[in-house]
Structure 1
Amino acid sequence: MPNGTVCQLVNLPVVIGDVVTSVTVENVTCLDEQAKKVDHIDVVVRDLEGEPIFGGIPANTSGKPYPYPGHNSGQCTSPTATIHVGDAVCGPRELKGIRIFGTIHKQIFYVNKLDDVRHMGEDIEFTKVIDLKPPLIVMNSQNIEIDFRNVDLSVDFDLHKSIRIQQTATVSFLIKIVEATQMFISIFPNGCETATLGIQDTFEDFIGDVPSNWQGTNVGPNPAGRTGEAVEIGVCPTRPASLAQNVPNVVGGQSYELTFWARSLEKMTDPCCFTLLAQVMFLDASGNPISTVDQTIHSQDLSDTYRQFRITGTAPEGTASATIGFVFTPEPHNTCSVLMDDLVFAPF
């Protein structure tokens, strides 16, 4: 438990995505007898379930697979399977879609030739695959749950030849994709230390041209953020730029992950020619570097659409703090800058 008794490691459900969608189910039902009319149909959805559809193991930004125990075995145990000793441990995966199953239960009320009100029931099973574009990256496919909210159901019908009912049922709902995630929470009024929780920055607050709590050169705010504003690195695209922040109280032996979203910003029609070095430097109590993990992003790796990058590393024993840094290096004829948003540095 880092920071003495101030924080407690807990396992919490975290919503990593949500989708509003619907399923339309058509069918024809033959009544047991001829009818003058169909009075109404009562409908309800039962056994609504979602099954995640995973793709392959995603490559990190260095082009190599994420290192986690068991990933070389080639198979990752299904989230619904029993796990045995020696099974592969699931690490980061691409969640490509959700397969939905359910049953529409109906009670059909109709008036027969003798003007008696009768009813009959039926169950219609349905399934649909919802594609996620782009796919979601999940850290452990064993920890994914699918939750359905705001479920609504409507049905239209038409009676043909006194016995055949043409029906169209529409089921609409909100799918919440939840991943169980370990994190440290405060159990004392003074709260957790900053580094235990890491940092999270959406770059909404600036002091002059530099984001709050950061140091930087040739940077500035830009309204074209992924969520709200973004920080622009390389405001003058032909000059180098840098952005850095120190995070105190980083715990030795703990694994950390830096994630951020980035895109290029073309200011003229000339091609983009630059590199962006993203790095996490672990420091000892005297401020001396112990180790560094980094990733070089080339201009051809970016476009005018935001893309998420991840850098992971374990703080060596003796680590006291970390410095998160970004260095923008342009070619002489470069005409592009980089927009960055939604940065998170946290243990995992």
Structure 2
Amino acid sequence: MPNGNFCQLVKLHVVVGEQVASLTVENVTCPDEQVKKVDHIDVVVRDLEASPVFTSPMAGESIGPMDTVHFYDPTYTRPSLLRRIVVTGTIHKQVYYVNKHDDVRHMPEDIPFTRTINFTPPIPVLNPNNVEIDFRNVDIDLSADLMGRNKIRQIATVSFLLKVMETRQIWAVICTPPDPDNGPVLGIEEETFEEWIGDCPAFWDCINVSPSPDGRTGLAAALGTCTTLPASLVRTVPGIVAGTTYELGFWARSIKVSAQVCEFTLVAQQMFLDAAGNVLTTAEQTITSNQLNDTYRQFRFTGTAPEGTNSVMISFVFTPQPWNGCSALIDDVTYGPVL
């Protein structure tokens, strides 16, 4: 790569959602002898497992195989929504009570349970085969009281944090040591928007953006998922060298979402920042919806980093009219010094 970096495909555990949940399990224990009082009950939760329920735009609702950690189902190969999980487990108890002779007795019992936990809103995942569900901060609260002479009613409340993780392959920029003579020069060799975290491309921050299958090759970033609301796609690139001229290149087109006309502006910007994050200067290019159609068009413009520059913020800002019915697609972004 001309900027001294290279891309490496890495595999990461990405947290795609989490939810605090609780469930209540009630049961009645009947010792074989008369009970004067409950002394105490030792309780622990064992064998927590989860079975996910996914839905797909192309298929009906399905339940994945039950597994504590991994869920492997070869039918799941498309992006899906995790709507709920079925939690199973066992409440293991050691019940200590006082009988009519004032002797402390004890009896063990295991109470299995099954409960459904819903996710609102559903959690989007790229591939359900790679989803892991982890139980964190598991706690149990138990209350007990006597019912008659030999019945002990118990109410157990189990609480936990559900953490949903997905193993994803992401292209990461690997930085080589800086040249001591020329300093570090970083950039974006080619951003094709093939790796997404939810509705945002990896390494980018975004508002009102979603993946589109209408890319030049593969996916594109659609600005204006809701066509009447503003959208933005932003990424900060470190290691910019003062006095160097940089070029931002990208391909763009419009795509009609509703029957309304296309009426928006798309502004591409290079905002040069100092070490404190203050904007020193901005280079930008404004594109109107009249300049775009259903065919991709390439745009390029340059900006020179002023003295004191530490990094650059690259942004694409989509501003629609209230009656706009189109989105703007961005693909194949490049950024680097003009050689």
TM over 0.5, shorter chain: yes
Partner of 1:101: 88
The normalised TM-score by structure 2 is: 0.57
Aligned residue type for 1:119: H
Whether the aligned pair in 2 keeps the contact of 1:106 and 1:121 (CA below 8 Å) is yes
**How far apart are residue 81 of structure 1 and its match?**
4.7
Aligned residue type for 1:108: V
Alignment map for 1:92-241 (pairs within 5 Å):
92-188=79-175, 193-194=187-188, 199-201=203-205
**How far apart are residue 101 of structure 1 and its match?**
0.8
RMSD: 4.8
Larger Rg: 2
Partner of 1:258: 221
Pairs aligned (count): 242
Alignment map for 1:1-348 (pairs within 5 Å):
6-57=6-57, 78=64, 80-81=71-72, 83=74, 88=75, 90-188=77-175, 193-194=187-188, 199-201=203-205, 255-258=218-221, 292=252, 294-297=254-257, 324=316, 326-331=318-323
Whether the aligned pair in 2 keeps the contact of 1:51 and 1:146 (CA below 8 Å) is no
Q: Helix, strand or coil for the counterpart of 2:26?
A: strand
**How far apart are residue 94 of structure 1 and its match?**
1.6
**How far apart are residue 137 of structure 1 and its match?**
1.6
State the identity %: 42
Q: Helix, strand or coil for the counterpart of 2:48?
A: strand
Whether the aligned pair in 1 keeps the contact of 2:76 and 2:128 (CA below 8 Å) is no
**How far apart are residue 296 of structure 1 and its match?**
3.9
Whether the aligned pair in 1 keeps the contact of 2:53 and 2:64 (CA below 8 Å) is no
Unaligned stretches of 5+ residues in structure 2: 66-70, 179-183, 192-200, 209-214, 234-246, 261-295, 302-313, 325-329, 334-339
Mean alpha-carbon deviation: is it higher for 253-262 or for 160-169?
253-262
Unaligned stretches of 5+ residues in structure 1: 59-70, 204-225, 227-251, 265-273, 280-285, 301-315, 335-343
Q: Helix, strand or coil for the counterpart of 2:53?
A: strand
Q: Helix, strand or coil for the counterpart of 2:204?
A: strand
Deviations 1:109-139 (A, max 9, x none): 1112222211101111111111112212211
Deviations 1:148-170 (A, max 9, x none): 11111010000122210011000
Distance 1:30 1:198 in 2: 57
Whether the aligned pair in 2 keeps the contact of 1:26 and 1:168 (CA below 8 Å) is yes
Whether the aligned pair in 2 keeps the contact of 1:92 and 1:137 (CA below 8 Å) is yes
Q: Helix, strand or coil for the counterpart of 2:77?
A: coil
**How far apart are residue 294 of structure 1 and its match?**
4.6
Deviations 1:292-325 (A, max 9, x none): 565445599xxxxxxxxxxxxxxx9x99999956
The normalised TM-score by structure 1 is: 0.55
